[in-house]
Structure formats: C-alpha cells, structure tokens
Structure 1
Amino acid sequence: MAEGTGRRPKADLDSGVEDVTLSILEWLGEQGVDALIRVDAERMRDGEPAWTFAASGGPLDGGVRADGASVAECMGKALLRLREAGLAVTF
C-alpha cells in the first residue's frame, strides 16, 4: 500500500493463490490458527460473493474474514487481511 494515499491494496487475482490454498490452510494450522474456506451455494445462486475464508486463534488477536466471488479473490483478500493482522503468509 502506498503511504498516505488512503487506498487499500488489491488482491492479486493472477497470483495462483487458488492452487496453494490447501497448503496455506495447512501452514496456518501449524501456526496454531484455526482456518477454513467454504462456498455458500445460496449466495452463489443469488449472485453474491459465495466464497468465505475465516481464521482465528494462534498469533491472531482477533478473527479474520474475507469474502469473494472466486477462490482466488477470496484468498487474495484473506492474505491481505492476515498480513494486516500481523501474520505474513508466504507461498
């Protein structure tokens, strides 16, 4: 994020994050973080962002949640939120 612009960084949808989602969840578990990703069929039918990532525990002070229309969007946002919470996930 650029200093002083007030803009939030954007999720990189071309990063391939959907290919390593299970590895990220496993790594989070090794850090003591409870984490999950789910798809909500009802929200998908309604045209709403159907994918949700949620994490809590371990080194996180509070919970982290991210929603997206695709796995890539959801996990891209999740990685940004985890980083903002002080947990940098490298993949």
Structure 2
Amino acid sequence: MTMTMTMTRAKGRWPKLDPNDGVEDVTLLILEWLGEQGVGAMIRVDAERLQEGRPAWTFAASGGPLLEGMRADGASVAECMGRALLRQREAGLSVPF
C-alpha cells in the first residue's frame, strides 16, 4: 500500500491512499475514524465459521450518529467492510474512505 502522510483536522495521521488499494488496507483507519465520531466499532473473525466455510468476518458498530446498531458479515475482510461501509452510508454516516 502506498501512503503519503498528510496533516488533517484529525490528529495528523490520515494518509492519502492509493486508489488501487482495497478497503482492507484502511480498516483500522476506518475504525479509528468511527471512534472519533462517537461510534463504537469492531471487526472480528470467527474461527469456527471459517472452518465450516461460512462467512467468518463480522463488523459491528453502534452509538454516535448511528440511530441503531449495525452488523455486516463477509467471507473476507474486504467483503465484510464493503458491506459495512454501504450500510453506514445508508444510515447517513459517510465514512471518508
């Protein structure tokens, strides 16, 4: 992943991202941004579901501007986070990534 550090309103740690990189490369930055908005969020992998061939990745978030808690599942980090970002936008929270 190619990043150039740029000073922003946050805490000076938001990078400019290479548009060819996937969402899985910025997942921790997304979680941090959500926390700064008052949203509690997490992503986890379930080893049992992975062994069973089921979607093993789960994103969950609640609080802040989200009126209801939300969850998104996927077979990969990219799929899970892609679904999570879509659901957040539908809830009116546009993550800047």
1:64 offset after TM fit, Å? Answer: 1.1
Greater strand proportion: 2
Higher relative contact order (CA 8 A, sep 6+): 1
Aligned pair in 2 of structure 1 residues 15, 77: CA closer, same or farther (>3 Å)?
Answer: farther
* Aligned residues with identical type, % of pairs: 79
* 1:51 paired to 2:51: no
In structure 2, the gaps of 5 or more residues are 1-19
**Alignment-derived partner of residue 29 in structure 2:** 23
The SS at the match of 1:61 is: strand
**Higher Rg:** 2
Q: TM-score, normalised by structure 2?
A: 0.78
User: Number of aligned pairs?
Assistant: 78
Per the normalisation by structure 1, the TM-score is 0.83
Query: Quick one: distance in 2 between partners of 1:64 and 1:75?
Result: 12
Moved over 3 A (4+): none
Unmatched 5+ stretches in structure 1: 1-13
Mapped partners of 1:15, 1:59: distance in 2:
28
Q: Shift in Å at residue 90 of structure 1?
A: 1.5
